[in-house]
Homo-oligomer: A and B are copies of this chain.
């Protein structure tokens, strides 16, 4: 049974969605504001989230980034605002889809099915700890240990490491690193990568000048070698 978390501060709409989704066989969880949404998402592990942007407590994009910090659950954003700036912002923050109110219920359901279908072919979600040499990288806990000692990483450092580790062995292009860690507008700031890769190597590699795990492929990108 697919579990949907619906986040909306409008009780009427919430109720309508709940009825419709339940009628289609979904299990429905609900939250009235962003804080509770994050809480429910963390504890109930829904399969997909329908998120209204106009929440009383938190900004919509903050909810998205809060979720994306630890999860890849598909997020479908609902909003009354047709402004394309909002859409861009939400999508770049990590939303999977954006539906403008008023919307047809069958359209929302179709988008929901599309989101769930995609997620179900994606076996990401149960790969908690990656070991590589003296490194233990816990993706769920967002923590790295070197020789058993926990190493502190900044958010940006972690973002880079996580992306590389999730694609371990594969080449990750500079462009992808920049868009996913900094955002699509930073695609050309390759300098950042050099600075941060040097920092990561200093923290994680036995010999920073001869890296064994964080490999540079000149002109192409970087690669995490286990």
**Tally of A interface residues using CB under 8 Å:** 54
A25: which B residues are within 8 A, CB to CB? Answer: 175, 187
The proximity string for A residues 130-167 relative to B, scoring 1 for CB distances below 8 Å and 0 otherwise, is 00000000001111000000000011001000000011
Question: Is A218 interfacial (CB 8 A cutoff)?
Answer: yes
What distance in Å separates the Cβ of A149 from its nearest Cβ neighbour in chain B? 14
Interface of A is mostly: mixed
Question: Is A61 interfacial (CB 8 A cutoff)?
Answer: no
A190 to B84, CA, bound (A): 43
A143: which B residues are within 8 A, CB to CB? Answer: 169, 171
Given A143-B171, A154-B219, A219-B155, are A92 and B72 neighbors across the interface (CB < 8 Å)? Answer: no
Does B113 lie within 8 Å of A92, measured CB to CB?
A: yes
Copies of this chain:
2
A187: which B residues are within 8 A, CB to CB? Answer: 25
The proximity string for A residues 87-127 relative to B, scoring 1 for CB distances below 8 Å and 0 otherwise, is 11001101111100000101101110110011011111100
Given A158-B220, A219-B155, A220-B158, are A91 and B118 neighbors across the interface (CB < 8 Å)? Answer: no
Does B155 lie within 8 Å of A113, measured CB to CB?
A: no
Does B124 lie within 8 Å of A121, measured CB to CB?
A: yes
